[in-house]
Amino acid sequence: MPIRQQVEHQGVEGARVGRFNRAINTTFVVYRIGDTLIDAGPSNQWKAVRTFVDLRPPKRLLLTHHHEDHAGNADRIARRFDLTPFAPELGRAKLASGYRTPLTQRLVWGSPRPVETQPLPDHMELGSDCTLRAIPTPGHAKDHTCLLWQQRGFLFSGDLYLARNLTHMRSDENLQLLMQSIVQVLRLDFDTIFCSHRGVVEQGHAALSEKLDNLKQLCEQARELHEQGLSESEIVVRLRGPEDGLSKMSRYNISKRNLVGQAAQVDISRL
Ligand SMILES: [Zn+2]
């Protein structure tokens, strides 16, 4: 599959790749600032990613987290350009050893390939006008980290944003932590979000704030229905509708009940 879409936005380039284009989360955008790549894209899209990275040989590769759609080609890029990718400390062991992923994810993204990394520093100077700050944002994954281009107010958000209204969640995600991370990030000064799946989101601060509000509302509603004595599956149907093809195909590893089940437990006062 060739590059699906070229992205260009005030000094940031990107290439959208993906085997399928069924939903927003089945394609992926690899971003580049000058000779620095942000995330490596899924391994089954190597040909398209290679076309993009070969245009300007990268000197650095920064990973936002270990998931296979973000780090799938890190090993190939490392070898091709003789570099050691930077990755958040909490993801480095998994990246080095490799790990198995469920069948649906293997179909959509391919398998992750083990890669040796070096620790992602708190700050990186990429030029006089470009300081990137690493912001740990656990929840989606333990090692999840956003990157803020301070001078421009650009947030490379990895998988923190995705959509204003979440419908599904992975079984290994932690909603309470995710919401706390969003609260932290909203204290930062940024306007545009570069989401790994959604693409460029202008007025991104407002969009992320709306996502948090929607999640808070979901938590309140889920708790209320739980207190009224409804079962978890009744609450899921009430708030997000019945489980769909994605839930079934992933054998509920990615499902509505993962989201709504946790929503009833979140302590909003701790955010
Ligand atoms: Zn992810």
Q: What is the CATH number of the domain that holds 49?
A: 3.60.15.10
Cα(227) to ligand 1 centroid in Å equals 32
d(C-alpha 16, C-alpha 94), whole Å: 25
For the chain, percent of residues with pLDDT exceeding 90:
83
Cα(31) to ligand 1 centroid in Å equals 15
Cα(122) to ligand 1 centroid in Å equals 20
Cα(157) to ligand 1 centroid in Å equals 11
> Contact at 8 Å (CB) between 3 and 15?
yes
All residues with CB under 5 Å from ion ligand 1: 67, 159
Q: pLDDT at position 185, please?
A: 98
Q: pLDDT at position 23, please?
A: 59
H or E segment at 194? strand 192-195
Cα(80) to ligand 1 centroid in Å equals 24
Helices (H) and strands (E) in the chain, counts: 10, 15
Label residues 116-130 b or e (16+ Cβ within 10 Å = b): ebeebeeebebeeeb
Q: Is the dihedral of CA 177, 112, 20, 145 positive or negative?
A: positive
Domain-located, residue 66: yes
Cα(100) to ligand 1 centroid in Å equals 14
Angle in degrees, CA 108, 115, 76, rounded to 5 = 70
Q: pLDDT at position 19, please?
A: 82
Closest CA to 78 of 117, 52, 43, 42: 117
* 108-162 per-position pLDDT tens digit: 888 889 999 999 999 999 988 999 999 999 999 999 999 999 999 999 999 999 9
Domain-located, residue 179: no
pLDDT above 80 for 89: yes
Cα(128) to ligand 1 centroid in Å equals 31
pLDDT above 80 for 20: no
Domain-located, residue 126: no
d(C-alpha 15, C-alpha 41), whole Å: 9
Cα(65) to ligand 1 centroid in Å equals 7
Mean pLDDT along residues 85-109:
92
Cα(230) to ligand 1 centroid in Å equals 31
For the chain, percent of residues with pLDDT exceeding 70:
99
Domain-located, residue 39: yes
Cα(120) to ligand 1 centroid in Å equals 17
Which residues span the domain enclosing 96?
Answer: 1-119
Cα(62) to ligand 1 centroid in Å equals 14
Query: What total of structural domains would you count in the chain?
Result: 1
Taking the model in full, what pTM does it have? 0.95
Q: pLDDT at position 50, please?
A: 97
Domain-located, residue 259: no
> Contact at 8 Å (CB) between 153 and 113?
no
- Letter for the amino acid at 127? G
Domain-located, residue 35: yes
pLDDT above 60 for 175: yes
H or E segment at 227? helix 204-227
Cα(70) to ligand 1 centroid in Å equals 7
Cα(125) to ligand 1 centroid in Å equals 25
Q: Give the chain's radius of gyration (CA, Å).
A: 18
- Letter for the amino acid at 201? V
Domain-located, residue 3: yes
Distance of CA 232 to the CA centre of its chain: 27
Burial class (CB in 10 A: 0-12, 13-18, 19+), 267: exposed
Phi-psi region of 123 (alpha: psi -120 to 50; beta: other; left: phi over 0): beta
Domain-located, residue 88: yes
